[in-house]
Amino acid sequence: MIWQLDLAILTLVVVCAIAAISVKDLLGSAILFGAYSFMMCLLWAIMGAVDVAFTEASVGAGVSTVFFVAAVFRSTRRTKD
Amino acid sequence: MSDLIPFIIAKYNYWIFITLMMIGMYAMIAKNNLVKKIVGMNIFQTAIILFYVSIGAKKGATIPILEHAHGDAHGAVSHTVEVAHYINPLPHVLMLTAIVVSVATLGVALALAINVYNRHKTLEEDEIIDQIKGI
Amino acid sequence: MKIIALAIVILSGGLLLYATQDFPSWADPASPASMHVSPHYLQKSMEETSVPNVVTAVLADYRGFDTMFETTVIFCAGVACFMLLRISRQTPEDRYYRHISTGVTIHIKGGGKIPDKSKEFERIDTMWTPFDLVIKTVCRFLIPFIQLFALYVIAHGHHSPGGGFQGGVIFGASIILLAISHNLRIATKRMREKLVGLLCVTGVFIYAGTGALCLLMGLNFLDYGALAPLLHVDPVEARSLGILIVEVGVGIAVMATMIWIYNNVSSAGKYDEGL
């Protein structure tokens, strides 16, 4: 596998993870979590795990983000930390 | 110093996985909001799945779907399968189960968070503890 | 609290980093994980089950017990979500209606309502978003093709990446798309609540039932070679067909659970308004 691509996507994954738990808006946190899931799916496709990448793309970046947005819609969007 | 560079290049991926796991664990312990804790739980789960999948990778190997196997008579002539040519499929199987279980856990956790919000009108942990102690 | 958490996290991180000295180097073909059982799976998968996708063969045949209990866990999660949130007493609440030809919005307080089938008024949600023709038409065109793609993914799990889980999730996502783009009430009219629950149970029953059928025919539980006299094929082909039947069961269970959890979470149990 190409190590430059690997290193770039790994850095993006860490940045997305730190941003998803630091943003003060819960809707932004849910969308950043969807972006983090999609970056993970790319990583697994690079490593050759195609079945796992397919499942994560449909479950993590699809259905899981919709669950989060639905739950934030039903409760509150504002957070203090 | 010169044997430190191959050491770092051979194992840098483990360090990044451990960083991701620690980010997830910090979010689960230290954040006050319930939804942020659930996001931290999911980050932790996907970091563990990444660690397991990376164990199965092999240098210069291809995906674990056997080639030239399409039109064979069943079990009659078997081309000898070179094991080092294909990636180890066993971690992929275990991690498929883990991903599906993680989305089920996410559904139940969000249902619990909505129930807590309906009763206490807030999602912050310290305000909930104050309301419970006040009663 | 944050200082303690930071100290715990740095301590565990340091211990884990110290433990990675003993790990094998990355992408090493001779690492211990690739030595014992997985060469047997890679070499024997084609001649014992005639399925080229080794991951599907291991998931549904060699490690079939894990997958059966995982389907049960998904069903239990759907039931738990249902029992946590679903309430049936309806306090009288406000409704909003929109006159179709003029666009005037009416707000009726305290439980009165206009009958559902009236031609001039349509009911809109409390958090009202503007009526959008582009999204509704595009989604209405796309949904049958998404379902066709989901069926393709389930059926081609033997030769390409895919299988039961992925196809089931894509199928469930198409119904969730209907609920998001139109209305939760329209999606509930298409897939009723009772039907969704029954489908979830049917998926688990297909999986466990195939295993019990193999037990009745004389071999072990979940040993698909026992289905050969029933389907009039040789035992190797019977294993391949057994994998297909089991994947269909898993796909049905996963689809029904995704729809069920979405319906409960997005309407907080009341089933009248959604996202």
Average pLDDT over residues C34-58: 84
Which residue from A21, A47, A71 is facing B40, i.e. has the nearest CB? A21
Mean pLDDT (chain C, rounded): 84
Q: How many domains does chain B have?
A: 1
Highest mean pLDDT among A47-51, C228-232, C266-270: A47-51
Residue C274: closest CA among chain A residues belongs to which residue? A70
Average pLDDT over residues B67-84: 60
pLDDT of B75 over the 50 cut: no
Residues of B in contact with C42 (CB under 8 A): 64, 66, 81, 83, 86, 89
Look at C33 and B88 and tell me if their CB atoms are within 8 Å: yes
Residue A38 lies in a domain: yes
Distance CA B111, CA A25 (A): 20
pLDDT of B74 over the 50 cut: no
Per residue, the 3-state secondary structure of chain C, as one string, reads: CHHHHHHHHHHHHHHHHHHHHHCCCCCCCCCHHHCCCHHHHHHHHHHHHCCCEHHHHHHHHHCHHHHHHHHHHHHHHHHHHHHHHCCCCCCCCCEEEEECCCCCEEEECCCCCCCCCCCCEEEECCCCCCCCHHHHHHHHHHHHHHHHHHHHHHHCCCCCCCCHHHHHHHHHHHHHHHHHHCCHHHHHHHCCHHHHHHHHHHHHHHHHHHHHHHHHCCCCCCCHHHHHHHHCCCHHHHHHHHHHHHHHHHHHHHHHHHHHHHHHHHHCCCCCCCC
Instruction: With beta carbons less than 8 A apart as the criterion, state whether C77 and C257 touch.
Output: yes
Residue A79 lies in a domain: no
Look at C5 and B30 and tell me if their CB atoms are within 8 Å: yes
Nearest to B54 by CA among C16, A40, A18: A40
Contacts of C228 (CB under 8 A, 6+ apart): C234, C235, C237, C238
Residue A80 lies in a domain: no
Phi-psi region of C103 (alpha: psi -120 to 50; beta: other; left: phi over 0): left
Amino acid found at C209? G
Interval A24-65: pLDDT, tens: 999 999 999 999 999 999 999 988 889 999 999 999 988 999
Chains that touch C (3 or more CB pairs under 8 A): A, B
Contacts of C130 (CB under 8 A, 6+ apart): none
Nearest to B45 by CA among A37, C74, C27: A37
For residue B38, with 0-12 CB atoms within 10 Å meaning exposed, 13-18 middle and 19 or more buried, which class applies?
Answer: buried
Distance CA C133, CA C126 (A): 19
Helices C164-181 and A65-74 pack at an angle, to 10 degrees, of 40
Look at B46 and A74 and tell me if their CB atoms are within 8 Å: no
Look at C162 and A58 and tell me if their CB atoms are within 8 Å: no
Best to test chain B binding among A10, A54, A73 (most B CBs inside 10 Å): A10
Handedness of CA C229, C233, C238, C244 (dihedral sign): negative
Residue B116 lies in a domain: yes
Find the Cα–Cα–Cα–Cα dihedral A13, A15, A20, A23, rounded to 10°.
-170
Look at B113 and A75 and tell me if their CB atoms are within 8 Å: yes
Range of the domain at B117: 4-61+84-134
Residue B68 lies in a domain: no
Question: pTM to 2 decimals?
Answer: 0.89
Residues of B in contact with C12 (CB under 8 A): 22, 25
pLDDT of B71 over the 60 cut: no
Look at A51 and C180 and tell me if their CB atoms are within 8 Å: no
Contacts of B123 (CB under 8 A, 6+ apart): A75, A76, A79, B33, B34, B35, B113, B116, B117
Contacts of C45 (CB under 8 A, 6+ apart): B66, C51, C52, C54, C57, C58
Q: Is A49 on the interface with B (CB under 8 A)?
A: yes
Residue A44 lies in a domain: yes
pLDDT at C229: 80
Best to test chain C binding among A44, A46, A58 (most C CBs inside 10 Å): A58
Best to test chain B binding among C4, C28, C53, C54 (most B CBs inside 10 Å): C54
What are the backbone angles phi and psi of residue A25, rounded to the nearest 5°? -120, 125
Look at B92 and A55 and tell me if their CB atoms are within 8 Å: no
Residue A31 lies in a domain: yes
Residues of A in contact with C179 (CB under 8 A): none
Residue A49 lies in a domain: yes
Interval C161-179: pLDDT, tens: 888 899 999 999 999 999 8
Task: Work out the angle at residue C84's Cα, subtended by the Cα atoms of residues C80 and C88, and round it to the nearest 5 degrees.
Answer: 120
Amino acid found at B22? M
Look at B74 and C234 and tell me if their CB atoms are within 8 Å: yes
pLDDT bracket for residue B26 (50, 70, 90): very high
Look at B11 and C70 and tell me if their CB atoms are within 8 Å: no
Residues of C in contact with B92 (CB under 8 A): 55
Residue B89 lies in a domain: yes
Residue A56: closest CA among chain C residues belongs to which residue? C166
Which residue from B23, B42, B49 is facing A18, i.e. has the nearest CB? B23
Residue B32's domain is classified under what CATH number?
A: 1.10.287.3510
The residues facing B62 across adjacent strands are B86
Average pLDDT over residues C28-43: 76
Average pLDDT over residues C19-48: 77
Q: Which contiguous run of DSSP H or E holds residue B100?
A: helix B90-120
How far CA A53 is from CA of A61, B87, C21, C65, in Å, comes to 11, 15, 28, 23
Residue B112 lies in a domain: yes
Residue B67 lies in a domain: no
- Taking residue B107's Cβ as centre, other Cβ atoms within 10 Å add up to 26
How far CA C189 is from CA of C135, C198, C268, in Å, comes to 20, 16, 18
Best to test chain A binding among C147, C266, C271 (most A CBs inside 10 Å): C266
Interval C97-147: pLDDT, tens: 777 777 777 777 776 777 767 777 777 766 656 667 898 899 999 999 999
Task: Work out the angle at residue C153's Cα, subtended by the Cα atoms of residues B51 and A34, and round it to the nearest 5 degrees.
Answer: 45
pLDDT of B98 over the 90 cut: yes
What is B2-20 written as a DSSP string?
Answer: TTHHHHHHHHHHHHHHHHH
pLDDT at B76: 46
Instruction: With beta carbons less than 8 A apart as the criterion, state whether C34 and B66 touch.
Output: no
Q: Is B62 on the interface with A (CB under 8 A)?
A: yes
More confident residue, A51 or B3: A51
Range of the domain at A50: 3-74
Contacts of C91 (CB under 8 A, 6+ apart): none
Nearest to B21 by CA among B48, B1, B39, B2: B48
Q: What is the DSSP letter of B64?
A: S
Q: How many domains does chain A have?
A: 1
pLDDT at A2: 77
Q: Which residue has the tokens 């093709």?
A: C145
Look at C29 and B59 and tell me if their CB atoms are within 8 Å: yes
Look at A51 and C161 and tell me if their CB atoms are within 8 Å: yes
Residue B43 lies in a domain: yes
Residue A48 lies in a domain: yes
Residues of A in contact with B51 (CB under 8 A): none
Residue B88 lies in a domain: yes
The residues facing C97 across adjacent strands are C106, C123
Instruction: With beta carbons less than 8 A apart as the criterion, state whether B113 and B35 touch.
Output: yes
